[in-house]
Amino acid sequence: MKKIKWSKTTGKNTMTYGLVILAYVVLQLFGAAGLMSSSLKGMLIPICAYVAMAISLNLTVGVLGELSLGHAGFMSVGAFCGTSTAILLQNAVPSAPLRLAISLVMGALFAAVVGFLIGIPVLRLRGDYLAIVTLAFGEIIKSIFNNLYLGVDSHGLHVSLLSDRTNLAEGGSLIIGGPMGIGGIQKIATFTAGFVLIMVTLVVVFNLVNSRAGRAIMAIRDNRIAAESIGLNITKYKMMAFVTSAALAGAAGALFAMNYSTVVANKFDFNTSILVLVFVVLGGQGNMLGSIIAAAALTILPEALREYADYRMLVYAIILILVMLATNNPTLKSWLDRLKSGRRKAKEAI
Amino acid sequence: MEAVLKVEDINVYYGSIHAIKGISFEVNQGEIVTLIGANGAGKSTTLNTIAGLLNSHTGAIQFMGENLGKIAAHKIVSKGLALVPEGRRIFLQMTVQENLEMGAYTNRGDLREDIEKVYGYFPRLKERYKQIGGTLSGGEQQMLAMGRALMSRPKVIMLDEPSMGLAPILVEEIFNIIQNLHQSGTTILLVEQNAQAALSVADRGYVLETGKIVLSGTGAELLGAPEIKKAYLGG
């Protein structure tokens, strides 16, 4: 019991870290050698943001075992709060990387607060009901940002809802302009920042999952009644996972937004939530490396297959159905198992 | 004798359904007390209320002189009151040993000693300590659920239908273990449909019918009572 085991999970986590670092190094070398197409270069930061999103959603869906359909909402909170912070600090903090870091932290903080507030009602629900209510909260967040006006002038911050009543004094500027979102963003997000964000996300998630609290979270997923009967504080541990997940999504949203010159609330709609959920389901629930690969592949593929863009959603649907069949259909499953064990036996024979 | 667990006039509702209608009973130190009754009599509801999973509108639940009324379910376990829920709720993806370790979540004592103690009661679990919970037989899962509850070092253990869905030989084995636990000084509150088995090990028993206690007495008295014979033991 006492000795530290090089367990299967430790090995897998190390491999995940290793592959992410390797991918970063290879992509940097490619970029330096000029081997990367400009379209791929432009996608690196969104890929990083989506990878972080997928890992964070996997914490809710795969580890906590609750289906959340509003994850883009937290991304939205992070994007708007993070970007606003960056704009406000433009003069105060001249160093772009530092400003970016502060913005990501602010985005994460605000998303965590929103996650906590949403978690209070949502985590009392189970299964389908939880999914429906998270979907609704995602839409509510979208509506709020579509109607939020935030301006700054010499008197400080001005906020108004529904219409622009900020009445800015001379020299003031509107940061969030309702449905127009935030414009004139300095693109301070970098690929390296994205890589750091993914690494931080992985460290947070792996450490949480392998901790005492993580054991409790997974116990709640496996059997809520049993977890309750051994004296686990269900609400506390569910909230811990949900808020962590929201915070990481907020940071990812902030990074995502600062890669573009404008950000609007409609970017973070139900489709984005589903897109991230697709990454998680395709990569395997609870499997972080799978999420990373799925997020990267499914962000690149639509671009690479741009000429067949009309069929993209069709292919998505078919892939999802196939994955479900492969993991849940008993006949297919036993066939895959036989295939695997056959290969193993062949290896042993050699 | 001193009552470790005292339930006074509790009323529990599921929405508009009045499930428990003013039940009072007590469990003394070192006793096996059983609640028997048909389906829907309110046996499990009573246990879940004591464990804090449901709330009573009236009355009080006293455990070691402390009122449990407003205490959250997860804190009750660390006070020494453990519930083995109905239908052997074990962690199917974890091994036997990991299930037991989870049981000690609220207890920061010597894990190894506690596990050995549990294996002492359930040698079968020791044989299978590395096996995944979901691959155990029904009887073994029940043993695991009981063992896991013991890991929190409870002063009183509440068993919700441990014989449910088990073959007669396994029921006998489970009841032997219940008696072993009793002999080593554990206080047990046992809910059962199998009235015969429950009453023959119990010091005292209460009979529940549609949310009310209709009869109480020692195990032997109840076994001999004509109305019990007629209603539960088949003539």
Which domains are delineated in chain B? 3-231 (3.40.50.300)
User: What are φ and ψ of residue B165, in 5° steps?
Assistant: 70, 20
Question: What gap in Å lies between CA B200 and CA B233, rounded to an integer?
Answer: 12
Query: Residues of chain A with pLDDT > 90: what percent?
Result: 27
A3 — pLDDT class (breaks 50, 70, 90): very low
Mutation for testing the A interface, residue in B98, B105, B189 having most A CBs under 10 Å = B105
Q: Pull the structure tokens for residue A209.
A: 């999952």
Tens of pLDDT, residues A203-224: 999 999 888 898 899 999 888 8
CB contact under 8 Å between A222 and B91, yes or no, is yes
- Closest A-chain CA to B157: A229
Tens of pLDDT, residues A128-172: 888 899 999 999 999 999 888 888 877 777 777 777 777 776 767
* Residue A340 host element (H or E): helix A330-349
Tens of pLDDT, residues B43-75: 889 998 998 888 888 888 888 888 887 788 888
Average pLDDT over residues B164-188: 89
CA distance A9 to chain B (A): 14
Tell how far CA A288 is from the center of its chain. 12
A344 — pLDDT class (breaks 50, 70, 90): low
**Is pLDDT above 50 for A1?**
no
Average pLDDT over residues B24-33: 91
A115 — pLDDT class (breaks 50, 70, 90): very high
**Is pLDDT above 70 for A345?**
no
Tens of pLDDT, residues A45-57: 899 999 999 999 9
- Closest A-chain CA to B77: A231
Tens of pLDDT, residues A173-187: 777 877 887 887 888
Residue whose C-alpha is closest to residue B178's, from B209, B203, B211: B203
Candidates A1, A215, A234; nearest CB to B102: A215
Going by DSSP bridges, is the β-strand pair B17-28/B3-14 parallel, antiparallel, or unpaired? antiparallel
CB contact under 8 Å between B90 and A216, yes or no, is no
Going by DSSP bridges, is the β-strand pair A156-161/A148-153 parallel, antiparallel, or unpaired? antiparallel
Tens of pLDDT, residues A254-279: 999 998 888 888 889 888 898 899 88
CB contact under 8 Å between A215 and B93, yes or no, is no
**Chain A residues touching residue B77 (CB < 8 angstroms):** 229-231
Question: What gap in Å lies between CA A269 and CA A263, rounded to an integer?
Answer: 13
Question: What gap in Å lies between CA A128 and CA A113, rounded to an integer?
Answer: 24
CB contact under 8 Å between A229 and B72, yes or no, is no
A2 — pLDDT class (breaks 50, 70, 90): very low
CB contact under 8 Å between A228 and B53, yes or no, is yes
**Is pLDDT above 80 for B20?**
yes
Mutation for testing the B interface, residue in A229, A233, A234, A240 having most B CBs under 10 Å = A229
**Is pLDDT above 70 for A226?**
yes
Residue whose C-alpha is closest to residue A232's, from A242, A245, A222: A222
CA distance B229 to chain A (A): 34
pLDDT at A347 (0 to 100): 58
The ipTM, to two decimals, is 0.82
Collapsing DSSP to helix, strand or coil, B65 comes out as: coil
Which residues, in sequence order, are CB contacts of B155 under 8 Å at separation 6+? B4, B64, B80, B81, B186, B187
pLDDT at A249 (0 to 100): 94
CB contact under 8 Å between B102 and A229, yes or no, is no
Most confident of the following: A37-41, A305-309, B74-78:
B74-78
